[in-house]
Amino acid sequence: MQNSRLLSSGCPVTTDWLKRTAAGIAELHPYIPGKPIIELERELGLVDTIKLASNENPLGPSPLAWAAIQKVAGEVHLYPDDSGHSLRNKLAERCAVAPGAITLGAGSSDVIDMVARVFLEPGVNAVYSEHSFAMYQIYTQACGAAAKVAPPLPVDHPHMPYGHDLDAMAALIDNDTRVVFIANPNNPTGTWLSKSEVAAFLQSVPSDVVVVLDEAYTEYVTEEEFPNGIDWLADYPNLIVTRTFSKMYGLAGLRIGYGISSPELASVIQRVRHPFNANLVALAAAEAVLDDDAYVTQGREVNQQGMAQLMTAFDAMGLVYMPSVANFLTVDLKREAAPVNDGLLSQGIITRPIANYNLHNHLRISIGTELQNSRFITALEQELSS
């Protein structure tokens, strides 16, 4: 049977390509990104729309990154430094690891994809939690590997509803497990794991199973018991911590992130790294923004204030949300979220329905500026009362 979903160009299909694809590809559901502002404005003829859908930094780029980008703009006819020497050295110094411990990626998703392609194949499996970052499933399946998905902590859990249940995850690890994915804090729930919880888990994982500790939102977290995955690298050569410049550092459009692991694991992972995967502009901007402490401090403050603003509004509306330490809040609308989302879109506001995470009544809202948040709150009140 032909797959008409794929015929967006209207081309007649003469070959059933999906019968010829590698293991896992035919059943793969591609990632659904947040709707771009420009697309919404084009579709609905709106102006001045706002996007609170992809956990981007609402402050715009750091001035230091901006200046660095302008400085290298005249060099983009050249390939970048494939080793990313300068950025890797700076990251290595900040993380107190050897430069060989750093794996650069076109976003941290690229690093996670490299781990998957190196270790996963048909016949083996990866372990992760339900309601965790969508790319774990996609990369696992793209490699033809099996997914063992742990149920999350129960909805009525006193501290961490929907959080990772590390005991349940550990119980799923078997002889065929090659990789475990953990997001801390987790997306789309915003829940987090403490130092002692992660420490106990790492101890229980066989030393030849790779643990990916995805810390995409670590810069937002102020909780005292929140761990820094780098602290465990010396004891766990099977651990890779991933970080990104897409969220707090405000460079999502440039695609730059990194992994930190034992140099040995890093060199194995980099066997499948695409040449020049960290581009010239991204390398320069990332290096510059690492020096912008004021930008990060402001980002954290705006996030904390915006988080309080949204929580107060949801409380007033009688809506329950998941406890989040990241830069987004996931709220239970107590009704199907898709039509509410359509209403918000028609008011020029893009948020994220997360039915693809099997949460049909929830909406994930990235924390914006005060003005963006209030526009969203007013629009949501209107949608829920209509």
Ligand X SMILES: *Cc1c(COP(=O)(O)O)cnc(C)c1O
Candidates 103, 246, 324, 341; binder of ligand X (CB under 6 A) is 246
What CA–CA distance (Å, rounded) separates 170 from 17?
38
Nearest approach in angstroms of CB 109 to ligand X is 3
Per the structure block, which two tokens stand in for 325? 């330490």
Binders of ligand X among residues 29 to 68 (CB under 6 A) are 55
Per the structure block, which two tokens stand in for 44? 């609905």
| DSSP letter string, 363-379 | EEEE---HHHHHHHHHH
If one asks whether residue 189 binds ligand X (CB under 6 A), the answer comes out as: no
Candidates 125, 187, 191, 238; binder of ligand X (CB under 6 A) is 187
If one asks whether residue 214 binds ligand X (CB under 6 A), the answer comes out as: yes
Burial of 366 (0-12, 13-18, 19+ CB in 10 A): buried
If one asks whether residue 216 binds ligand X (CB under 6 A), the answer comes out as: yes
Burial of 250 (0-12, 13-18, 19+ CB in 10 A): buried
Measured from the CB atom, the residue of 133 and 236 that comes closer to ligand X is: 133
If one asks whether residue 133 binds ligand X (CB under 6 A), the answer comes out as: yes
- Helix 108-119 crosses helix 134-142 at what angle (to 10 degrees)? 40
Binders of ligand X among residues 147 to 186 (CB under 6 A) are 183
Candidates 49, 103, 108, 129; binder of ligand X (CB under 6 A) is 108
Backbone angles phi, psi at 260, to 5 degrees: -130, 125
Distances (CA, A) of 275 to 115, 241, 260, 349: 16, 22, 19, 38
Residue range at the interface with ligand X (CB under 6 A); choices 145-153, 161-169, 244-252, 355-363: 244-252
Nearest approach in angstroms of CB 76 to ligand X is 21
If one asks whether residue 250 binds ligand X (CB under 6 A), the answer comes out as: no
Per the structure block, which two tokens stand in for 95? 């993380």
Q: In the complex, which residue's CB is closest to ligand X?
A: 107
Chain residues binding ligand X by CB under 6 A are 55, 107-109, 133, 183, 187, 214, 216, 244, 246-247, 252, 257
